Each structure stands twice: as structure tokens, then as C-alpha cells.
Structure 1
């Protein structure tokens, strides 16, 4: 044999033997990583090739010495597809399934391999830990860190991914998911929440079959108008309130999102969630870290009720701005005046507000613009100076007049947007997201400002900052966002030589930078997040906002259903519910529905009849007596309005001494005369005695219910009939421990 051929042969043999030895060593040294809370565990483990797999998701395995053996309990043949249960599935090498990450390296190579490198667990406090797992490409200087932040008591995980590299030039991230989860079970049911304007948060439950079910948004801003990043996965059977295993999740991201639910050939579920890669290939420069948004999820083996209480408790304590604090009961002028007002009309609305118990007056759209006055929604947006004709003495005058009447003053802004009929547009077309070679397309007669541009970020921050500098006693901000992004193009990115595909991501990152600056200077001022309704209700924004506006549809019957659906994911303290003139229901019904959250009014209080005013005053007084239970207590959905003629929801304080129960007639097609069966309560102490009493009665109307005393055991087994009927369409019960 030729000597060179012999040397080559020996090298090949040595290489093969080395691979075999390495494989054997790795097989003998599998790394097992538990991610565990009080009641559930994710178990990750390296395989013989040092790739990280998800081998278990369920109740905690108590014996730590047995964790390593879990991976040997299943045997899936995956030669045709790669690895279904990869903890973070790369594209371009061994995998043929839907990837979690896809990249193009600086040299143009589209392949990626990720192998386990290291991990660490940091105990942040007694309840909170952070596990970080580093995966590296064996060929390129490219790495991914999987991050799992666990709140043990709440059984909640926040999961995200950090991507970085040390290649010579930018790497193009073509897909970059936040999480890649894997579940083994017989059947899976998905509840997603979709809709349209005035019809937000509509639930659709489907059994997942083999293939991929995708929920996504490509709207850019107001991204949740048509579909939301909230979801429920139920295992084995459809979702139930108090039984069964369910996972509640949300991608905390304010822009385009994508959720992929894939039933693989083994009938298991792969869940890949993150920023929508649509038109969003992202150029990541060397030595910078790309942090994905978080997937937030909780698992319960006792149905959606327990899961949502876990999520609500976590949100109040750890995420929502001032989530364990107070909120202001406000009066808004929008439906009372729309754009047609002046300072006399507005100051006239202050009168009597304090008398019925309102804390704050909110001046809505229409107060600004001079060259292009904001008398309709087609002009003025972007020109944030007081309209001299409407407000000749400025906002400061209204702040003082409100104070004289005993109420605080708040203001509406929509700082991310611009009307083409505005001075801002005339001066700074380069600040506007618009393709210069295409006709402009408007949503509500407006365009979106380019927040990838630091100058625009400064401008938007300045809008808020100037309001507070000029009016230090300003007490509330309503931050609106009504347009979506058409003709996505950034003059700033073009000028900087950056890809246009960075825009959708950099817009949201720029918005977060603005909000961080606002909160650094004004940490405590309450701010409502509004986006034509629920277009932005998610937990990354709620780091900066105290509350959000669920929908412009304030018709109270529709609100019962909408608020029911939002309650799976959000505590009541975050949802703004206003009493308006929408709907045919009586004022009492409207006030009762709005009291299941942060109460507000959008009516002319001076136009109320004497009895209506008397009722509002008493109802608001009652609300102030139980709002702490609604805001900070545990919520129980008792009677589902989708399945019954009535709806019933209950809130119980933490020491189980007080509760409030809301009951509504939601269907009278068959002339319902009375509640047919009792409502079974939940969340009380079985051993305590409780007084049950009806409150929020309209003047001169007597309750058909007598104040009674029952044990918690009785109320949670036999129940209590609220006597809801055609004459009593809304019944509110106060439940108080008998001392």
C-alpha cells in the first residue's frame, strides 16, 4: 500500500475510534438538569451526542437519584425527522422538523448545531431561581443560552433565550424562538383567543391533530387585534375549571408573535413560541446579545382555576407595576364629548364627580394641535401642544380646577403615531414608517413613528416628560396606540446601512427603551395601556403600566364574556372597566359588571337622574369597601356563561374572611324566571361561618334574599341561590365571616 494512503487510512481509523470513545464517554456522563417548582418539573438531559433533550414534563419526581433514569423510559425512532424533543431545535444540520432557531453565519453557511456546554442555577431568593444552560456550535463561535426563571410557590416559569456569537461579521438570525417545549400525552386541546376590533379575546378550543397549528400576528403594532399570544393547553381532555392538567401561557411581547403547536408523528406536542420571523431576519453583530421575549407559563393539575390564580398571584407580586398597590376610580370624558369640548365643558364635568366617589378625571383625545387642530381623528396627531381655542388657559388650569373639585387630573396621549395633517409630519417625514415609493396607507387616518430611530425615541419620551414638567400634579396617563404598520420601511435603518428586516424588532425594543426612561424619572405615576381595546395586554408592557384597556366594546353583557376570558391570564387590578351608555341594561347592571376590576365611568354624571346618582354613590362606596378583595384576592369562576343562562364569579380575600360574588343573567331567550340551581361557592374556609348578604341594590328596591348564615362547607357543597331572574338581572353578594 502507498505510504501516503496508509497514513490517511490510519488517520481515518483514529478519527472513527476517537468518535466512538467520545460517544461512549458522553453516554456514560449524561447531564440531567431539573427545572422544578413546588408542583411541576421539566427534566432536560443530554444524549449520547451531547444534544440537549426534554425527557419529562409533569409532577416533580421526588427521588433525585432516579432523575437520570427517566430518559430510558421512552424509545422514539426519529431517523426521519431529527429529534422531536430537542430542548432548542436548530436548523440546517440533523434536524428536519420545525426549528426553534435558524441562522445564516457570517460566511453564508446556513447550518447550525447546538451541543451542551455548561449550566448553572442561581437561587435568587427562597421562592425564585434562575437556571441558565449554555449550548454551543462545535464549529462556529456561536452560542445560545436557555434561561428558565422559576417562581416555586406560584408554579410559574418565565423562559427566554439569549443568542450571541464571536464571528467576524454579523450573523443573520432567521428564526429565534423564546422557547421550545415538548409534552408527552395521549390527547391535547388548545384554547386560543382571537377576534377583531370590538370583539377581542374570543376563545376557540380545538383538539390538536398531527401537523402544526399556528397562531401569529404580522400587524407590527397593536399586534393582538386579531389574535393574542395567550393560550391554554389541556392534556387528555378539554379544559375544565377545577379538574385536569392544563398549561396557561403567554408570550410577553408587544410586536409580531408566532406560536406553533405541532403534534408530531408520535402524537406528542412540540410547542415553539417567539417573535414572528415574518419579514424579521435580524442582523446580530459580533459580541452583542440578542435576548428573546419571555414565554410565561404555569402548569396545574387542578384545572384552569388554579392555573389562573397562580398566574394572577405571580403577576401582582412580581410583574405588574404596583400590582399589590392601589388604583384610582376615574371619570372619562370621551363618550360624553368626543372631540367636541372646550375648557368650560370639561371643567363642568368635574362638578359632582367627587360627590359620587370618583378620584380622578381623565381628559381624552382632542386637546392638542393648533395649525392642525385635533377636532377629528384626521389631524393634529403628533403636535402635542394645547389647542388654544379649546384650552386657552392650558392644561395647568384644568389640573387646578379639578383639584378644587377634589379630584385628580389625567391626560390621554398617543405618542407613537402621527397624522399626515400635522406639523410633525411636515417637518419629519423621515421619522415616519412609510415606503417613499408607495402610496401611504392609513389606519384611523394615521401612520406610525419609527421608534427604531433614537431621535424618535427622544421625541416620544419628551412628550411625556414635558407634560409632567409643565404640570407636576398630573396624576394619570392613558397611552393609546390605534394604528398598525403598513408599508414597513425605516429611513433611519436605511441611513445606517442596517437591514430593513430589523424594523419590526427594533421598533418594539425602541418603545421599551422609552418606557424605561419614563419609569426611571416617573416611577409611580399610574399609566393605562390602551390600544383600541386589548391590542397590547401582555406582561412585558405591564412592567411599565399599571393597567390596560380590554376593549372599546363597553356593552356590559359582552364585557362579562370578555372579562371572563381575560381573567384566565390577568388579575382584575389590571383590567380597566368603564360604565358607559352602551347596551340596554340598567345602570345597576353596568356598574356591577365594571366593578369586577378597576372601576371607571364614561358618562355625564350631571345628567344622571336622582335615583341613578344615589345608586352610583352607594355602589362606589360599596366598591371601595370590597375593591381590595377584587384586586388582590383569589378569583373563582363559578358558573360559565358560555354553558349556562347565568354567569357567576367570586373573589375571596387571602385569609378567607370576606368574599364578593357577582351573578348575571346572560341569556333570557326562554324567559328565564329564576336561577334554577344554586351557585356552588369556592375558596372559603370549610370550618368558618359566613353571613351572605345582597349589596348594590338600586334605591327603593328590596332584596328577595334574606341575610343568612351558612358554613363554608355548606356554601362550597350545597351552594347558594342568588335568585337571578328577569327582574334581577344582576345580583352582587357580600360574604363575611361571622365572628
Structure 2
């Protein structure tokens, strides 16, 4: 017999007691069907209750025995959940749920409630490494289904999740929210690392403790969607994210438009993560018999900190997502900072000679080569008119491409096919192709507007821009695809439902890119958007690399590339040597070598010793680029709280490593006072340490040592000092295994 004391507060205590008792009874008497979604080290475990509700009741490190997941719930002694659906696998609005929903609808009859019940599940083995779990849910009252798809990449410990929404009601259903994923993470405290920025200030990190309520990460820009906030984030349990320890999750939306991530700490201190397209101004009318497929949400969960999580994601990206992620890349010379808009055929042919002299693979012709009625001599005119400018290029692009072929240099070209200047023939002929409100004044971002890619005619036009370039120039070897404007005054002359524009635009973009890749599957393309304003893993299916920022000051790039590297591998990051920054040419080249190396400098104006160094650096880069592009990355010393930064790349066999170190402080006597502890090496292997990329005639005390070999154990436990200081502001080391 249980005695409950009477007096003040008795009813409240009785209510709490009964709630806990009911919760204990429910968990102890309900035998649930268990659906584990596992990688080699992590698990998301779904439970199907007797009343066919699906709950997410375990999210964490993989257990050895599947049966033990059921025992986890019995170890919880948190507050009760009066709704009973806080941990729903895909929470719906309008019924019992009073937390943020993953899905919200208005049925054909006007009802706003939705309750999803388990129907079936299926597990498919896609490959030896990939397993896909499909979960079908249905409303018991309405003919409305949601299929949840979980794709687990076991070795890389990455999971993708998305939803497929289908209805067969007597009329259209309005989708007001349609998330890709709805995670539930048990814990006591969670920390968020998010990113913000603007042009030339991309990937600025902020770390905060998540408080009760909702923290939303989102964008509403339409295109160039990542300009202020990218779709990537890090969450850690119990303490701030750390590099080599602690439980952390790296997450991102695979979508090149408006996204939304809701992070809600509930009354039990657990974290609800709801991620997908942004539903702001984007309700969607779903017709009977049709399916609405959401973009993929991806995450990797690590118990060894952000370092291991990022290596998981980088490995996955190279193998499964980035176009030719395990292949090679082209080093290049870009003409932008040499000429800007002021060039002609003769200047370009001279630059082709500089490309050959420098020793890189490709010459990239940037903005300004097109338009005649409104010539592209600045950014106020010409976008949309993709005919070579007759004054600058009287013999067309073909003449320059042919000269590049003769010189043994590959040729690439810049385009911005999604945009239009009001001062263009395209705008005059097809104003209905432009996204703009018919009754409101036009408002420009960088003097341009966005073409309506929801319109199939516009899709054909954009595809034709690329196709025509390749048809006329079969040896064209590279495309730089830019996107500089956001969407103002959103309105499509093509669509009946204006709230669907943001979604239809991105889908139209993907249709164009799919056509390009179907016809030109291997041509390298850079994803550019005034910097990293658009990079995500849906876009990188079609692109070999992305442009992290127009800010190429090498000191700034040390910080930016450090943060980008948590989510994207070095092979995908274009890094150019430019005139930005006051650092010496060696510092600039060393920083650019951490990604896909390029140059955007007037080669003819380099001093002889600078040119000689750049030529030798290109040769050195070609010796180590495979390790940088395809190796495992380890962050050693963070630039955010030290006088210098240090990181390294190690090949998969652990035979070779490349270590970069940079001075990031100009304070007196700043530098590497203590040795840097390496990571990722074979402790039983001996390595020879050599400094490379030395400036002309410079000597290295590291290379002068008689015995310059060390065990991997020594290098990782005791460390090695790269000797970074004001006289040696950037140092590149190569560690090579020796017998």
C-alpha cells in the first residue's frame, strides 16, 4: 500500500505520482517492436508500440546486442511526457503533440489534425556498406501516408534521412511544414556550434549552450542561400564541442535553397532536432496520388569528438557525394585579378603563356567575355546575353581555346546562367522569365535579378548556355558557375501557386544540372556564389569543388578553411593565391595548398624569385596533393586560441603525412614555443621529417639535422616543433615512412 500525504499541494502531488506510475506501467508492460538503424559505431533505434506509434528511444553509441536497446528506456527517470509523443519519429501537428512538429497539413476537408501510425518497415541492402530502412506511416482517418527513409553508410558512420509524403484524399492537401528528419536525443545538456557570416566573412563560428525552447537556424534568401548562415552545424552533449573527445553530431541539409533546422530542448531536457526545407512562405499544395519528396538530412555521430566526426563526413563525401570525389583536380590560373573586365584576345593569349610558364593545368577566363548590345564591362549590364563580345573577342571564344590547345593548356570559362541584368537583351525579350512582382518596383542585388527556373523554358535556356559552349568548344575543360543574387519580390509568371516558388526554383536548378551531367558527366565545375553562399551536399553531386569565399586574404583563409573542413574535404575547396593580404607569397601559396590550388595573380608582375618559388611550389604540390585531397585530416593547433595554427593530412596507409603550420598572431615573439603533437600516424613506424616549399635559397634547420627520423609514437606523444615565428610565418612539413 502506498500512502500519499494530504494537505496543501496534495492534488498536484497525486497528479505527478499517477503520471509517473502510468509511464512506468506503460514502459514495463508494452513489448515494442525494435527497428535499429545502425552504423559501425552509432545507432538510432525506433520502437513501435502496441498502438502502432513509432518512437525514437535511443540515439547514441551502437550497442553490441540489439536486445539491449529495450533496456535503455528502463534506465530513464526523467519527468513525464503528458503528450506521450515528444519522442515521435515524425511528429505531427493538430493532435496530441504540443512541441514543434515535423509535419503540418490541412486536409482536403479543411481538418488540420494528423496522426501517423506504423504500417510496415523494410530493410534493403544497397551495397556491402549501405543499408536502407524504409518506414511506412499512415493516418488512421485520412488516406495520407508518410514514408520515412533512413540510409546508413556503415563504415563512414553517416546517416541520411528524408521523407516521402503521399495522399489520396478527395482533393488537394496543403502541406504547411514538411521536415526531412525528426531526431530525439536523450541528455541533460547540449551545446550548439553554428555559423554566420556575410560576403568575405563566411563561416564565422559561435558556440552556445542550448536553452529550453527553440533555437532555429534558417535562411530565406531563395538563392545564394548560405550567405548569412550555412546549413551546417555541430551539436555536442554535456559540454562544448571538443576535437578529440566527447559525443558530437555534425549535421546538414542537402538542399540548395531555403532550409530550416529547429533545435528544441523539451521539458525533460532532451533535444528534438527537426530539419528540412524552410516552410516560410512555402506551403505546398499536394494533389491526390502525388508524392512530395523532401531533401536529405545527413548526420554523423561520433564519440571521439569533432575530429573523428569530420573525418567520417569527409570520407563519406569523397566516396558517395562529391562529383569525382576520389579522383583528381586541375590546378589553374584565373585572369580576374590580372584584368578584371578589361581584356581582349591578345591579353588572354599572353595569359595562356603565363599559365604554361607557371606550370598549372588550366587557364580560367572569368567574368566579362560576353554581351554586345549591352557589353559586359562592369556588373551593371550583359548578364543573360551569352554571346562573345565582338570587341574583346572578335574571333570568339574558339580562337582563345584553340590557342590554349596549341600551348598545351586546358581552358575553362566563367558563367552566371541563373541571373540577368535589367540592362540586357534577354530582359527586354523575356521579362516573364524573371522573378519579380508585377506591381512593385524592382530591387536589385548586385545590379541583377534571378531567372525563374521553375519555368521549363528557362531551364532549357540555362542548359543551352552550357551546352552551346561545349558544342562550339569541344575541348572546354572547366566551368566556373557563379550565383551572386538573392531573390527579392518573389513571384513567378509561370506558377499558379506562388508559395511553391522557392521549392520549384531549386528543383528546376537540379533538373538543369542533371541534364548537364548526363551529357557532360566528367567536366570539372566550380560551385561559386560570391564565396561559399551556396555550398551543400545536394549541389556537390554536380560540382567537383566550391569557392569558399571571395576573401582570399591567406590569414582569413586559415580560419575559414579550418571551419569549412569540419564538413567538406580539402579536394572540394578551391583555394587561390591572390593579391589579397599583406603576407609574403610563400605564406599565400602555403595556405592555398591546403585545398585545391589555384592562382589569381598577374604572373607577369611577379619578381623573378617569386615566379621561381611559385613554379617550384606547383611541382611540390603535385607530389603531395593526393595526400591532401584523399587523406585523413587532423587538426592539431587551433588558430582561434593560439598564436599559430597547425593541421595535417595522413594517407590511408599511414606512410605519408603533410603538416601545415601558420603564424596567425603578430604579437611580440609569437610562435610555436612547444612541440606540436601529431595525430593519425602508425606509432610503430619511423618517419623522416622534411621541410618543403622553402623560399628560394632558404635553408631549414629541420632539414640540416643529421638524424631526422622519429617514431610515430614519439611524434604523437612528445611532438615535433615546426618552429613557427615571425621569420618563419608558414611552414610545410612532409613526414615519410622509412624502413
Task: Give TM-score, length-normalised by structure 2.
Answer: 0.95
**Post-superposition shift, 1:394?**
0.5
1:685 aligns with 2:685: no
CA distance in 1, matches of 2:83, 2:396: 66
2:729 matched to which residue of 1? Answer: 729
**Post-superposition shift, 1:66?**
3.3
CA distance in 2, matches of 1:124, 1:52: 24
1:517 aligns with 2:515: yes
- Deviation string, structure 1 residues 169-215 (Cα, Å, up to 9, x no partner): 22111000010001111211100011111000111000111111111
1:92 matched to which residue of 2? Answer: 94
1:164 matched to which residue of 2? Answer: 166
Answer whether contact 2:191 2:207 (CA < 8 A) is retained: yes
CA distance in 2, matches of 1:543, 1:647: 31
2:667 matched to which residue of 1? Answer: 669
**Post-superposition shift, 1:32?**
1.2
**Post-superposition shift, 1:51?**
1.1
CA distance in 2, matches of 1:352, 1:388: 24
CA distance in 2, matches of 1:353, 1:66: 62
**Post-superposition shift, 1:108?**
1.2
Corresponding residue SS for 1:227:
coil
CA distance in 2, matches of 1:84, 1:532: 41
Alignment partner of 1:597 out of 589, 595, 598:
595
1:703 matched to which residue of 2? Answer: 700
Answer whether contact 2:193 2:233 (CA < 8 A) is retained: yes
Corresponding residue SS for 1:186:
coil
CA change 1:285–1:75 in 2 (3 A) is farther
**Post-superposition shift, 1:29?**
5.6
CA distance in 2, matches of 1:216, 1:528: 25
CA distance in 2, matches of 1:289, 1:93: 23
CA distance in 1, matches of 2:615, 2:406: 20
2:12 matched to which residue of 1? Answer: none
**Post-superposition shift, 1:76?**
5.4
Answer whether contact 1:81 1:97 (CA < 8 A) is retained: no
Answer whether contact 1:675 1:722 (CA < 8 A) is retained: yes
Moved more, 56-65 or 470-479: 56-65
Alignment partner of 2:118 out of 102, 116, 119:
116
CA distance in 1, matches of 2:71, 2:419: 56
1:610 matched to which residue of 2? Answer: 608
1:14 matched to which residue of 2? Answer: none
**Post-superposition shift, 1:71?**
3.6
CA distance in 2, matches of 1:285, 1:76: 42
What root-mean-square deviation, in Å, do the aligned CA atoms of Structure 1 and Structure 2 show? 1.5
Corresponding residue SS for 1:553:
coil
2:146 matched to which residue of 1? Answer: 144
Corresponding residue SS for 2:155:
coil
- Number of corresponding residues: 712
CA distance in 2, matches of 1:131, 1:715: 43
**Post-superposition shift, 1:287?**
1.5
- Deviation string, structure 1 residues 567-624 (Cα, Å, up to 9, x no partner): 0000000000000000000000000000001000001112111100110011110000
CA distance in 2, matches of 1:570, 1:541: 13
1:230 matched to which residue of 2? Answer: 232
1:451 matched to which residue of 2? Answer: 453
Alignment partner of 1:346 out of 348, 363, 366:
348
Answer whether contact 1:370 1:385 (CA < 8 A) is retained: yes
CA distance in 2, matches of 1:712, 1:231: 33
**Post-superposition shift, 1:63?**
2.0
2:557 matched to which residue of 1? Answer: 559
Alignment partner of 1:367 out of 366, 369, 375:
369
Mapping 1:306-321, distance limit 5 Å: 306-321=308-323
Unmatched runs of 5 consecutive residues or more in structure 1: 1-22
Corresponding residue SS for 1:585:
coil
Moved more, 173-182 or 66-75: 66-75
CA distance in 1, matches of 2:74, 2:50: 12
Task: Give TM-score, length-normalised by structure 1.
Answer: 0.95
Corresponding residue SS for 2:679:
coil
Answer whether contact 1:117 1:134 (CA < 8 A) is retained: yes
Answer whether contact 2:79 2:267 (CA < 8 A) is retained: no
CA distance in 1, matches of 2:434, 2:302: 45
CA distance in 2, matches of 1:69, 1:155: 24
**Post-superposition shift, 1:668?**
1.7
Moved more, 149-158 or 160-169: 160-169
**Post-superposition shift, 1:126?**
1.2
Answer whether contact 1:27 1:47 (CA < 8 A) is retained: no
CA distance in 2, matches of 1:405, 1:644: 46
Unmatched runs of 5 consecutive residues or more in structure 2: 1-24
- Deviation string, structure 1 residues 444-463 (Cα, Å, up to 9, x no partner): 00000000111111111111
1:628 matched to which residue of 2? Answer: 626
**Post-superposition shift, 1:28?**
5.4
- Deviation string, structure 1 residues 453-505 (Cα, Å, up to 9, x no partner): 11111111111011101111000000000000000000001xxxx21000000
Corresponding residue SS for 1:373:
coil
**Post-superposition shift, 1:347?**
1.1
